[in-house]
Amino acid sequence: MHWAHAMLQPGVACVLDVETTGLGPTDRVIEVAAVDAHDGSVLIDTLVHPGPDVAIPAGATRVHGITNSMVAGARPWSAVLPEVLAAVGGRTLLAYNSDFDRRMTVGHARALGVDPGRLHSVQAWQCLMKRRSMWLGTTTRIRLGGRHRALGDAVAARDLLLSLRERPAHTLPAQQPNRKPTE
């Protein structure tokens, strides 16, 4: 079965996305969302308080639109993480840039002294950006585009997964093992 078709089967995968205070190792998760890959139903969608004395830089706010006042009443990652783990269950975790989402979710948990659970496992994650590049036959990282809120990005990534079920617009010529190279 084709990879995308397999990921779209009931109970197999979900698409997760996070928004953060930045891109570095000390930056924090401020929003998380996950949708079921099979039917697109929302599994979790919540803002996250980044922690005491952690402000969202203006540059990050320009990207995703999330402000300090928006997360002021949100629960901390230590309270949200168990809900994320319960929501995604044993599904494969799909993310457009899985290295980033994994690094940020696990890094924030570890900074708080909290067990990140299966989010830590590289084997639990699949990268839709890499799958898209393979599908298109390129090594170029192609931006997802967009919404830059966790739920909007998770939905856009699921839409990408749906498109990966189809053949790409171009096809590479079939290999011809008996063909001699031309000079």
**What does the pLDDT look like over 148-173, one tens digit per residue?**
899 999 999 999 999 888 765 555 55
- The residue among 133, 129, 120, 125 whose CA lies nearest residue 94 is 125
- The residue among 146, 140, 122, 150 whose CA lies nearest residue 42 is 150
Q: What is the pLDDT of residues 80-118, one digit of tens each?
A: 999 999 999 999 999 999 999 999 999 999 999 999 999
Q: 13 - beta bridge partners?
A: 92
Domains, the chain: 3-163 (3.30.420.10)
Q: Looking up tokens 């950006």, which residue turns up?
A: 129
The edge-to-edge listing of strands for the beta sheet with 42-47 is: 42-47, 29-36, 13-20, 92-95, 125-127
